[in-house]
Structure 1
Amino acid sequence: MEVQKHSVHTLVFRSLKRTHDMFLVDQANLPPPNEDSDKIKMMMKARDEYGPVMHLVKNKQDHDDHNGSHFSDSKTDESAGDRFEHRSALSEFEGRELYETDAPPPGTEDIYNIPAPAAPSQAVVLAGTQQQALTARRTPSIPKPQWHPPWKLYRVVSGHLGWVRCVAVEPGNEWFATGSNDRIIKIWDLASGKLKLSLTGHISAVRGLAISSRQPYLFSCGEDKQVKCWDLEYNKVIRQYHGHLSGVYAIALHPTIDILVTGGRDSCARVWDMRTKANIHSLAGHTNTVASVQCQAIEPQVMTGSHDCTIRLWDLVAGKTRVTLTHHKKSIRALLIHPKLHMFASGAPDNIKQWKCPDGNFIQNLPGHSAIVNCLGMNADNVLVSGGDNGTLYFWDWKTGYNFQRLQAPVQPGSIDSEAGIFACTFDQSGSRLLSAEADKTVKIFKEDENASEETHPINWKPEILKRKRF
């Protein structure tokens, strides 16, 4: 038996006809329109909208009648006619059983033929209601940004033989450590910029450093898949944490618990017990390199940013994703937690975004840094710094997102212009000095211009360009 074959047009037409017949049946079963129900619905809307202010119309009309004032212009007559129509619409509610159980809005007793209260306290409440109804609501305004002095370069620290990939300042604010592509970790005196110590042990580029505030430990990670713990009393490695399957690009210490979190090219962030070297959790979920890791004492305790264009906030107890933020359109290489507020920022080539903890609610965009943003820094004066792959430093006011300075640090003699990238930046513990790790094999230290004032460097503030954009 042959099966009859139909053309595509015939099949499409039959499908459309079946769909039409099916929905036509649903539409045909709808009840016919009821004029009384529509009228009742419109009456309810009118009462909800105009009920609380109808007593003001009546008081105004009585006041005008008492003073003998008459409206002559057509616009006033039209508005008076509108008020009369509203009153007539509201008067149809009186005597209906449908609204016997509804309590009248405050201050509308005269509309529903209810005698007004004579108590003084209730009269004061009534007066306050009238004043609140007549008060115009203020339009929201964008706050003016706080003035910050500009920053300037005042010291260049050189000594590495490769790109400087990471920098960390110790809690005592006496020295800082840097890691480089030359596989060496160097420790420098912060006041003088002189080299104090060189630590060798990594066999590939050092990509991350973290200094403990409770133990004399320095933690480092690199492209050799290794995570090391250095005892600074003996200047040697005392522990190594094995488990990453590829290069480790980011490291962070928990401020209150003896754990560290690392992330790398294996698309996984790992939580380690500092003392036993045990891999507590493997935070899996990202589909590309985990380029930034941050830890804080309150929820969410761990945040990760990845080249898969997402940010994940993790439940540290369960080892699972709590929130995934997908607002960015390009890879995220920098995350930063605000030192005072329960907020954080993320940096990507498309935008710098501000978020609110614990659920990652979007706050605002900081547009304008048209480069690959490799790092973010923040001090207690609400100065946010972003470092780009083209050697630019942008300084922002955190609250308003105002970009008050753009800085291009000059490359050092002997370097080419393409080596103008900034890979890491951080403020010292006082927030008065900014350290940047750069591709010209140097560490540059910036400080505020002491001679600057609001007169010499005014705020070029335009509210229309600072309107917050959604996502």
Structure 2
Amino acid sequence: MATEVATGASNGPDLTPLEALVLENAKKAKSIYFSTLANSVGRKRIKLDPALDSADPGITKTALSLRLHAEYSDAQTLPEAIASKLPAAGARRKKPKAAAEEAPTKSEEHARKLIEGIPASRSAGPGGAHSSALVLSRKPAAASSSTSTPNPQRNEQQQSLSKRSDILAQPRPDWHPPWKLMRVISGHLGWVRALAVEPDNQWFASGAGDRTIKIWDMATGSLKLTLTGHISTVRGLAISPRHPYMFSCGEDKMVKCWDLETNKVIRHYHGHLSGVYTLALHPTLDVLVTGGRDGVARVWDMRTRSNVHVLSGHTGTVSDLICQEGDPQVITGSLDSTVRMWDLAAGKTMGVLTHHKKGVRALTTHPSEFTFATGSTGSIKQWKCPEGAFMQNFEGHNAIINTLSVNDQNVMFSGGDNGSMSFWDWKSGYRFQALDTTAQPGSLDAESGIMKSIFDYSGSRLICGEADKTIKIWKEDETATLQTHPIEWRPTLSRRKF
């Protein structure tokens, strides 16, 4: 004892032998507890903030953290009797904005620093797999766990959740009554390739492979007039809502303007080098746009017959085109599998849609929305103007799509080259009816194709020109209800894929 006192006395002139002994024992105890931190901090002491410093300068942040851990380690896990009554731990809820904006007090900040100084060990230390060795970390536990080895099961769960949310985000389809055949009109001697409805909805015109244009009464389906003048198949018709004019085009390279008051041709538009397959009138300008087998779309001044623009860029036949008031004012579909949107003022391409794999044979615009649809073999896609952003696919009609039509009740019709018909909800892409047309008795099975379709101005009648030389008129079934024809909607992710 005397030796120890003597040794203690040599530590300093101001310390009594007992105080020196206590100080030496404290240093030994601290060195023992602090040894577990040697690898992580390199025995570098971290001092407290001056405002939180204790009266004893030897107390450090690590010492306080060790004391807290030693005193409250037993209270870190709840007893099983209490834990079983509590709900399972889920994702941490976000704090309300008011609570999140409140600054923590000085004592709360001090306690947080002390507790965060002792994260659980992530590696087996000297004590084995369940070692309670303390490790200081400069990163929060959540950040370190996220940078660890990826968990494939968790990634699959996240992907499935994102897929599920994408499916749930799709709009639910509106209910539409099914359509039924109302009338069959015979009279043409060739495939009916062109249809147009008069703006007053009193009659409609049809053009066919027999080189004639026939005018039919909408209410009765009776023939009113037959116009001759083309020397080959009539492929396109358009009736102007602002002039007493009807325009026609055909495989004879001719584009004609008919005066509906005298029923005679008053203008010809010369310029196409091959058959003219489609034409459309601009809704506000006095221009006519035609497209054909020579791969260009030509813009004509309706009155002077001058060729204003030659819209070149397609490498295949321009099979269909549409005009609208806003940009893009002209949209063309071609057998080169592309859809081009045109700046009518400059006569240049605004954008090219290359999502289709086969030739684009059909286009249609919604009468009230700024959207349009394109159809090719086994593929119908919906787009948003003016940038041509992809919206969704219409899945299920696996045929060569020859024609598309949509009315203001959000019903879209697609007709196939094999006689298959599909009716769709425009907003959701849900096909609520699918059927096959019935060819006229005496026709070949190959003559059951639907070549052209159009809705009348009321949207309640669908007129189809078919390869069996007939015109079929369809209407909605008034007796159908939601109970007799329920919606069987199963959304899939492929609706949103290109």
Is this a same-fold pair by TM over 0.5?
A: yes
CA apart distance, 1:378: 0.6
Change in 2 beyond 3 A, CA 1:71/1:364: same
Most deviating of 408-417 and 280-289? 408-417
Verify: 1:318 aligned to 2:350, yes or no: no
Report how far residue 393 of structure 1 moved. Answer: 1.1
Query: Out of 148, 154, 163, which is 2:191 matched to?
Result: 163
- 1:213-232 equivalence runs, <5 A: 213-232=241-260
Partner of 1:343: 371
Unaligned runs of 5+ in 2: 1-39, 41-71, 93-98, 110-161
Residue 421 of structure 2 corresponds to residue 393 of structure 1: yes
Match of 1:288 among 316, 335, 354: 316
Q: 1:425 to 1:112 in 2, by over 3 A?
A: farther
Q: Distance in 2 between matches of 1:113 and 1:222?
A: 88
Identify the residue that residue 269 of structure 1 maps to in structure 2: 297
1:427, distance to aligned residue in structure 2 (A): 0.5
Structure 1 Cα separation of the partners of residues 106 and 377 of structure 2: 62
Alignment counterpart, residue 448 of structure 2, candidates 420, 434, 449: 420
- The answer as to 2:205 corresponding to 1:177 is yes
1:437 and 2:465 aligned: yes
| Residues 1:109 and 2:116 aligned together | no
1:254 partnered with 2:282: yes
Contact kept in structure 1, 2:378 and 2:401, CA below 8 Å: no
Matches for 1:84-95 after TM superposition, within 5 Å = none
TM-score, normalised by the number of residues in structure 1: 0.73
> Where does 1:121-200 land on structure 2 (aligned, <5 Å)?
139=165, 140-200=168-228
> After superposition, where does 1:19-38 map in structure 2 within 5 Å?
none
Deviation at 1:468, TM superposition (A): 2.7
Report how far residue 141 of structure 1 moved.
3.4
Over the aligned positions, Cα root-mean-square deviation in angstroms equals 2.9
Q: How far 1:176 moved relative to its partner? A: 0.2
Change (3 A) 1:344 1:113: farther
Q: State the Cα deviation string for residues 54-99 of structure 1 (Å, max 9, x = none).
A: xxxxxxxxxxx9xx997346999xx99xx9xxxxxxxxxxxxxxxx
Residue segments in structure 1 that go unaligned for 5+ positions in a row? 1-34, 36-64, 84-104, 116-136
Shift of the alpha carbon at 1:413?
A: 1.3
**Counterpart in 1 of 2:78?**
71
How far 1:461 moved relative to its partner?
A: 1.7
1:468 match: secondary structure: helix
- What do the CA deviations read for 1:229-282 (whole angstroms, capped 9, x no partner)? 000100000000000000000100000000010000000000000000000000
SS of 1:345's equivalent in the other structure is strand
CA shift, 1:368, in A, is 1.1
Q: What is the one-letter code of the residue matched to 2:78?
A: F
Paired with 2:333 and 2:314, the residues of 1 have a C-alpha distance of 9
Distance 1:236 1:106, change over 3 A: same
- The answer (yes or no) to whether the contact 2:395–2:495 under 8 Å persists in 1 is no
Q: TM-score, normalised by structure 2?
A: 0.69
| Matching residue within 344, 352, 359 for 1:331 | 359
- Give the aligned partner of residue 409 of structure 1: 437
Q: Quote the Cα distance in structure 1 between the aligned partners of 2:464 and 2:193.
A: 10
Asked if the contact 1:217–1:230 (Cα under 8 Å) also holds between the matched residues in 2, the reply is yes
Contact 1:400 1:466 (8 Å CA) reproduced: no
Measured in 2, the distance between the counterparts of 1:262 and 1:285 equals: 15
- Asked whether the 8 Å contact 1:227–1:242 carries over to 2, the reply is yes
Tell me how far apart the structure 1 counterparts of residues 107 and 297 of structure 2 sit (CA, whole Å).
70
Cα 1:343–1:75, aligned 2, differ >3 Å: closer, same or farther?
A: farther
In 1: Cα distance, 2:262 partner to 2:107 partner: 90
Number of aligned residues: 362
Structure 2 distance, partners of 1:351, 1:380, is 22
> Secondary structure at the residue paired with 1:460?
coil
Name the structure 2 match of 1:98: none
CA distance in 1, matches of 2:497, 2:471: 37
The structural deviation recorded for 1:467 is 5.5
Secondary structure, counterpart of 2:446 in structure 1: helix
**Equivalent residue of 2:193, what SS?**
strand
Partner-residue secondary structure (3-state), 1:437: strand
Deviations, residues 151-183 of structure 1 (Å, cap 9, x unaligned): 010100110011110111111000000000100
- Give the Cα–Cα distance (whole angstroms) in 2 for the partners of residues 352 and 113 of structure 1: 65
Q: Output the CA distance in 2 between the equivalents of 1:202 and 1:446.
A: 29
Alignment-derived partner of residue 451 in structure 1: 479
Q: Deviations over 1:18-72 (max 9, x none)?
A: xxxxxxxxxxxxxxxxx9xxxxxxxxxxxxxxxxxxxxxxxxxxxxx9xx99734
Offset at residue 113 of structure 1 (A): 9.4
What is the CA-CA distance between 1:458 and the residue it aligns to?
1.2
1:144 to partner: Cα distance: 2.2
SS of the equivalent of 1:405 reads: strand
Please say if 1:468 is aligned against 2:495.
Answer: yes
Matched-pair contact (CA < 8 Å) for 1:271–1:279: yes
The answer to whether the 8 A contact 2:401-2:414 is kept is yes
* Secondary structure, aligned partner of 2:364: strand
Please state if 1:355 is matched with 2:378.
no
Provide the identity percentage: 61
Distance verdict in 2 for CA 1:112–1:291, change over 3 Å: farther
SS at match of 2:409: coil
Letter in 2 for 1:362: F
Report the counterpart of residue 233 of structure 1 in structure 2: 261
Query: Aligned partner of 2:454: which letter?
Result: T
Asked whether the equivalents of residues 142 and 467 of structure 1 are also in contact (C-alpha less than 8 Å), the reply is: no
Q: Is the 8 A contact 1:167 1:179 kept in 2?
A: yes
Residue matched to 1:132:
none
Task: Measure the CA separation in 1 of the matches of 2:106 and 2:257.
Answer: 79
C-alpha distance in 1 between matches for 2:325 and 2:78: 69
Paired with 2:184 and 2:195, the residues of 1 have a C-alpha distance of: 14
1:417-471 Cα distance to aligned partner (Å, 9 max, x none)? 11001110011010000000000001000001111111111112223x3663310
- Is this contact kept in 2: 1:402–1:466, CA < 8 A? no
Partners of 1:114 and 1:107 in 2: CA distance: 15
Q: Could you say which residue in structure 2 is the equivalent of 1:211? A: 239
CA shift for structure 1 position 143: 2.8
Amino acid at match of 1:345: A
In the alignment, residue 71 of structure 1 is paired with which amino acid? Answer: L
